[in-house]
Amino acid sequence: MIKAYATVPAGFTVFSDATEMMFPAGERHVKTQQESTQVPSHVLVSGADANDFVSAAMWIDHAHQGGHTITAQIPYLPGARQDRGTPFGAKVYANLINTMGADRVLCFDPHSPVMPALLENLTVLHSDEVIAASLPNQGRDYVGVIAPDAGAVERARRAADALGLPLYQATKVRDFATGKLSSFECEELPETGRLLVVDDICDGGGTFMGLAQSTGLSKERLDLWVSHGVFSGRAAQLTEAYGRIFTTDSHPGHLNPDVNATIIPLAAFLAAASN
């Protein structure tokens, strides 16, 4: 889905009166207002539906024809996990986003450096700033941060530094032919206190369930932060292993009622990063 925004003469930001539509043949389009006094400012694209990126491109073209500069807020970069192998999904999606023609692209906590390197005019909002500002009691309830695998170490370390906490690292083995996970291990953890697991994406939750089981800790001692809550498949089982689950509204999956995550709205953080 997309949400397009504009400013009005009074200085407020409102939903754009140029709204998306679809022709009977299936093409995406934008219906504009002839006497509009709005100034288009930015468009938010959530999820991975390619049709939404076409709709956003239409709105950006409309705004450019009026002489306006536009930011595309794409907090969840689609294809960012497809950063190796064939097809090279990250490049395919990056090409699609670049073709939209936004003057600036803003994303949140990308999966790896691969896709950001392929995007033009990109600004990255990292998760540590959001985590430090959003956790209850400014994160003072925790005695440490856990990186669930090697790929999460950098972002977990940033979060740990922002919270003034030690970092603990876990490992796992993935069979890339089958996607099956095994051999979860975690370094020795404190004997008391709550720990926060930090990563970028939760899909079906297998990594986090395996980690929780390997630590032997109860849900009263484990919380989970994931920047992008896709929450597919068996993700609801996470409630058996984690006391609190935090995510943002970057992906439509965050609304999965069976996960019942605490949702952190990104609008204010994205607006600040745009300035």
Spot the catalytic one: 3, 172, 180, 219: 172
User: Cα 227–160–149 angle (5° rounding)?
Assistant: 60
Secondary element (H or E) of residue 96: helix 89-99
- DSSP output for 131-174: HHHHSGGGGTTEEEEEE-SGGGHHHHHHHHHHHT--EEEEEEEE
What is the C-alpha separation between 275 and 227, in angstroms, rounded? 22
Residue 172 catalytic? yes
Peptide bond before 87: cis, by omega within 30 degrees of 0? yes
SS3 233: coil
What is the C-alpha separation between 93 and 70, in angstroms, rounded? 19
The radius of gyration computed from the CA coordinates of the chain, to the nearest angstrom, equals 20
Which sequence positions are flagged as catalytic?
Answer: 172
